[in-house]
Amino acid sequence: MSIHSDTAVIEQQPISRPQFNLMLWFMLLITAIGISGGLYAFFVGHHAAFGVSRGVPWGIAISTYAFFAIISTGLCGLAALSHMFGGNNLAPFANRMVWLSIASILAAFLVIGLEIENVWRMPLGVLMHPNPTSNIWWMGTLYGMAVGIMMVEMYLIIKRKYRLAIMIGVLAAVTELFANSNLGSVFASLNARPFWYGSQLPIFFLASAFLSGAAAIVLFTHAAHSLRQQQISAKTLEGLQTAGKVMMLAMFLIGIATGWKYINALVGSSENWKAAQLLLSGELSTSFWVFEIGIGLALPFVILLITRLESAQALSTAALMIIVGQFFSRFNLVVAGQLVPQFDGYEGVPAQLHYAPTAPELAIVLAGVGVLGVCFLIGEYFFGDRFTHVHEDHNVEEH
């Protein structure tokens, strides 16, 4: 078999086995700890193991699910754009982005599976009792379709069937983007929760997806080079710089959107403003100002601006900070929207509810991180040559 000469393979170093083995065992360990936490909750009862309540039914597991799902959407969307428009600087990362997008959605599925008390009802309900009027039904259906389509795309990439892989990849991206905006709509359509309600969240989630996806590919590309003890080439740095530009643009837009959200909360309903106050000056203020805004938006933007995107280490550091900030952004959004009671102001109703993650919930978060880490390492070990395979002419196919 042979491929056309307009297809290039970037030479790469072999993986450092001691470092690989150590990281793999660590990721497997935290995955096992997370699954154990979920199983513990299953046997003792979620009401006893989790910090959620009737007033605050969604906790950190839901926000973590959204976190991984949004990363998956960003990676899938950027991969499709890179495949469709060959010759751009992100093209060398496209195949790795497809694999990491699959890994991220698998991490999201594991987290939501451990969070749901009767997890088997979800796939059965999607298949046997479809409800097209339900946003949650569409969320499960679209993300399920997306991961199946991406697996087909990844198989075609492995087999060097690039023309067909690109078409399948576009379909996967469209499905993921619809799923992501639908995920935002799950929150945005709940008029009983004024802090979520409105048309902004689906678009906000899409912007967050491209921010998270760009940060993830920078971070994992840098990690892959460290795993191989390989210097970052000029071509790879150009790709990282392009991802850095995507991050800066997305951070700017998300910063503007965040500012307007709180300005609107000031003149909106009392419930909306009380929820906003929890983040601005209440019990979630540290999580909001330090992690979501400071570490997640302001500092990485300044780092990228000062270094002018010329340092791979600075790009990777900023990417890690963005990922951390996005995690807290999802948590802040989910929790703040529930801490103000739905019947605020009525006699006998507390002025504010409370929520704190328990050890089993935090273990479930570790499970998601572990699965993503294991998939990253397995991908680099088995498919590393495909991740560095650059097909400049996307009409190329293997004969």
The CATH topology of domain 21-246+357-391 is Formate dehydrogenase/DMSO reductase fold (1.20.1630)
Q: Which residue in this structure is represented by tokens 């990922």?
A: 323
pTM, entire model: 0.91
Ranges of each domain in the chain:
21-246+357-391
Please give the pLDDT value at position 376: 97
How far does CA 267 lie from the centroid of its chain? 32
> What angle do helix axes 162-188 and 135-158 make, rounded to 10 degrees?
160
For 69-114, how does the pLDDT look when each residue is reduced to its tens digit (9 = 90+)? Answer: 999 999 999 999 887 776 688 988 999 999 999 999 999 999 999 9
User: Exposed, middle or buried, 57 (CB in 10 Å: 0-12/13-18/19+)?
Assistant: exposed
How far does CA 191 lie from the centroid of its chain? 26
For 121-154, how does the pLDDT look when each residue is reduced to its tens digit (9 = 90+)? Answer: 777 777 788 888 888 888 888 999 999 999 999 9
Instruction: Kindly report the average pLDDT of the chain as a whole number.
Output: 89
